[in-house]
Every structure is written in C-alpha cells, then in structure tokens.
Structure 1
Amino acid sequence: MPILSERLQTEINLHCYTTLVESVSILQDLPDDTVSEIVSHLKSEIYLPNDILVKAGSEGDCMYFIASGTVAVSTPTGREVCHLQDGAYFGEIALIRKDHKRIANVVAIEMVEVYKLESKIFKKCLAELPDTYKRLEKISQDRYNRTNFLEELHKKHILEKSLARKHEID
C-alpha cells in the first residue's frame, strides 16, 4: 500500500524535476498536464565515466533526458558527433523512426544522471500534441541526417587510409 497519494507523489516529482523540466526545451512547450504525466513516469539512472548508455544498432525503447553530466555521441564506426550536457535529450530518433534502431553510440564522459522515458509513455503523451510531435520529428530527422553524413565521411576516410597503407606496402 502506497504511503503517499498519487497526486502528492506527482507534486513531489514535479518539484524534484523542476530544474530538468525548465532546462529541456521540448518539455517547456508542453501543457502542464502532459509534463506531469511525463515526469511521473521518468526513471532515474546514474552512469559512470566510459559507461555505454546507448549502443548503435540496438533496439530503441526509450529516450533520455540529461539531468547532469556530459555524454559523447558517436557514429557506429566511432566518429564523434557531439557532446550533450545538462538539459539535453537523446534517443528520440529510435522512438520516432519506424525501425526503432539506435543510430549512434552514447557514452558517459563523466558521471551522468539521466531520466529515462519509456517509448509507450512517450507515444501516449505526444499522441494528442501533433505540433510538438512534428517539431520533435524535424529535430530527430536533422540529427539522423547529420549522424549518417558524418558516418559516411568517416567510412570514406577509413577506406582511404586503408588503401593508402596497402599502396605503401605494395
């Protein structure tokens, strides 16, 4: 039997996650009841330096909001795309795209606290907010395109280096 009522637990969660909600751009534009629904389902996770949060090619069943810390995002072949810090989010691409596969690796650079949002809650919360979904879809498409572009450049670079070495050996 729960000690706190559901309403009181939601209020406590909102209060605890206020900084996160204020720092994540996509959450700022959502109606209060949607933010409350999202916050009530967030799960806190802590990662240490060099821990892998997301592996490219794996099934994507959640997205993450960074409460504190820094992560490095890289393509499957290891080309670093960017660093994300407090208030950033990632993992939404796998939730929006139909194949649900992760397109990048995400590794903790320092101790990182993230809040995980499961796919089913994400879809439920955004089902009645088509404008927010479209905006997130555009952001995720831009991230997808950038990551794929950098991956192709990195593959080309690796191939050129390999051919140059082979030429030197011959």
Structure 2
Amino acid sequence: MTQKSALFKNLPSPTIGNMMEVMKLEIFPPNDIIIKIGSEIGEVYFISSGAVAIMTSDGKELCHLADGEEFGTNCLFFQKRKYAVVGIETTEVFIIDKNQLIEFLHLYPDVINGFYRSIKQKLAKLKNLEECATTTSQFNF
C-alpha cells in the first residue's frame, strides 16, 4: 500500500512506519457498505488491496477506487459523509483517525498541501461525475 499511495511516496520511511503502527486493518467483503452517506466523519481509509465504488444517495455509481487510493478524505473538509463507499470485491484497508493523520503530516507542509490539493481535485471530479449522472438520468426513457 505504501508504495502505491501518492501520499506515502512523499514521506520519510520512519514517519510511514509510525503511521502504520496506529492504523487499523479491516477487511470488507464484496457488497459491504463501508461508509454510509450522512455518517459522522473521522477516519481516512487507504486501500491496500481490492476495489470500492463511490455511490450517490440515489444509488448511482460515480467511480471505482483500487489499490493505493484513499477514501474518506472529505473528513478533512466536511462534518458528514457526502457519498457512500461500497466494496466491489474483498477489500483490505488501513484506517487512520483524521486527527492522527494531520498530526503526522503537519511536519511536512509540502506533503500536506499537495494532499489537500489532491483531495479538492477528487471532490471536484466527484461533483462533476454526480452532475453528469443526474443529467444523464433525466434523459433516460
């Protein structure tokens, strides 16, 4: 996972090791709802293996995320989950509390700024995908 994640590529090995010590590992079976829309936010998930789908409140699938990608990062900007996350296949994730993540990253301003920019770009992409899905569904007969 650490070799595949853009965030971890920019951090020193000791910091990554310290982060891995506080992360918890969870395995989700296919079709398991990992994150529900509207649930309280507090953790960031890093996919070690497997794949998930990002879903809207009306069940539209916006995109897939796989090995090395993260989700739940909107917790750094919002209080509630905007999208659901559902396992497509058996998915192994490492989970870290958002406050612990920020604590580790605060020593690396370039890394955290790049991570925030990446999150904002992903959120904008999801918003665009959601708008496209809504527009497309209005024209389906």
TM-score scaled by structure 1? 0.75
Structure 2 equivalent of residue 87 of structure 1: 68
Structure 2 equivalent of residue 106 of structure 1: 85
Match of 2:117 among 138, 147, 152: 138
Give the residue type in structure 1 aligned to 2:3: E
Alpha-carbon separation, structure 2, partners of 1:77 and 1:132: 35
Instruction: Give the aligned length.
Output: 141
Match of 1:48 among 29, 49, 52: 29
Structure 1 equivalent of residue 100 of structure 2: 121
Cα offset for 1:103? 2.5
Cα offset for 1:76? 2.6
Structure 2 equivalent of residue 73 of structure 1: 54
Q: Is the 8 A contact 2:75 2:98 kept in 1?
A: no
Deviations 1:94-117 (A, max 9, x none): 22x1x2322221111111111111
Deviations 1:101-139 (A, max 9, x none): 222211111111111111121111111211111111111
Question: Which structure exhibits the higher relative contact order, with contacts defined as CA atoms closer than 8 Å and separated by 6 or more residues?
Answer: 2
Residues 147 and 76 from structure 1, CA distance in 2 versus in 1: closer, same or farther, beyond 3 angstroms?
A: farther
Identity, in percent, stands at: 33
TM-score scaled by structure 2? 0.89
Unaligned runs of 5+ in 1: 1-19, 165-170
Alpha-carbon separation, structure 1, partners of 2:58 and 2:128: 12
Q: Is the 8 A contact 1:79 1:150 kept in 2?
A: no
SS for the counterpart of 2:59 is coil
Residues 146 and 77 from structure 1, CA distance in 2 versus in 1: closer, same or farther, beyond 3 angstroms?
A: farther
Alpha-carbon separation, structure 1, partners of 2:68 and 2:128: 25
Structure whose residues are more often helix by fraction: 1
Alpha-carbon separation, structure 1, partners of 2:133 and 2:58: 7
Question: Computing the radius of gyration over CA atoms, which structure comes out larger, 1 or 2?
Answer: 1
